[in-house]
Structure 1
């Protein structure tokens, strides 16, 4: 569908019937699986619903999508409110949208959401002196640097007969 869209310079939300017929022929020639025009149309509608649902979930404040590992993160309270309004969004609880790379090309691009991070973690490159809890040096020297492990007796490996002779 993406190739047909690019070749014909078609832009719009209603997919022309001849696109569906040609896509059906290509699927049959390539995979020997017959899809009717209606079956392809239903599949594309399902993909579009998933795409819209994904973008709705992504637009909610507190939801973050990490594109590389394709994961979505949000607090449990946010997920509970999402599940009440959109049952399809439950698919994104563990993973993001697997077909997201191709969906914007076919259905249109979403706006990129940017959030301001409220927590700042400062990592210093300076070191501090270690504070000693005890002034008694004898306590530190009395500890042994040798470690004694329990005796380990290896178990005999099991043998099985592979072939009857």
Structure 2
């Protein structure tokens, strides 16, 4: 199966595994602290994430870039839900991976190339 590496699908520019972790930890932390339940985030959430990225990773991004990356997180989550909902694919908790046979992955990749980001390589 010819699948591109996760990094080529998921990470570009300033967005790396490290910056994604900082961003998600910040947003999740703010949601918990404030008991935020809306599907959108207030500007100050995004500005706080900007500051955390600058402080912890030396990365300077705009509020729009943070918002766009959160949209990418949402897209990744929706694809994950779609993939693990398919017959022949399942989430393996001990290894934190989606498990499926090559034939299932071939079908998944035809359905959505971005789903290749779920493959552990």
What displacement does 1:27 show?
A: 2.4
Q: Does 1:79 find its partner at 2:105?
A: yes
Q: Which residue of 2 aligns with 1:5?
A: 31
Q: Does 1:68 find its partner at 2:94?
A: yes
Q: Which residue of 2 aligns with 1:22?
A: 48
State how far apart, in whole Å, the 1-side matches of 2:46 and 2:68 are: 11
State how far apart, in whole Å, the 1-side matches of 2:116 and 2:53 are: 30
Provide the TM-score with structure 2 as the length reference: 0.69
What displacement does 1:62 show?
A: 1.2
Tell me: higher relative CO, structure 1 or 2? Use CA pairs within 8 A at least 6 residues apart.
Answer: 2
State how far apart, in whole Å, the 1-side matches of 2:114 and 2:50 are: 27
State how far apart, in whole Å, the 2-side matches of 1:9 and 1:32 are: 29
What is the root-mean-square deviation of aligned Cα atoms in Å?
A: 1.7
**Can you give the 5+ residue segments of structure 1 that lack an aligned partner in the other structure?**
96-165
What displacement does 1:81 show?
A: 1.5
**Does the C-alpha gap of structure 1 residues 93 and 22 become closer, same or farther in structure 2, counting only changes over 3 Å?**
closer
Residues 34-73 of structure 1: pairs in structure 2 closer than 5 A:
34-73=60-99
Count, aligned residues: 95
**Does the C-alpha gap of structure 1 residues 93 and 24 become closer, same or farther in structure 2, counting only changes over 3 Å?**
closer
Q: Deviations over 1:37-91 (max 9, x none)?
A: 0111111111111111111100001112211112322222222221111111112
State how far apart, in whole Å, the 1-side matches of 2:77 and 2:90 are: 16
Q: Deviations over 1:121-159 (max 9, x none)?
A: xxxxxxxxxxxxxxxxxxxxxxxxxxxxxxxxxxxxxxx
Provide the TM-score with structure 1 as the length reference: 0.52
Rg: which structure is higher?
1
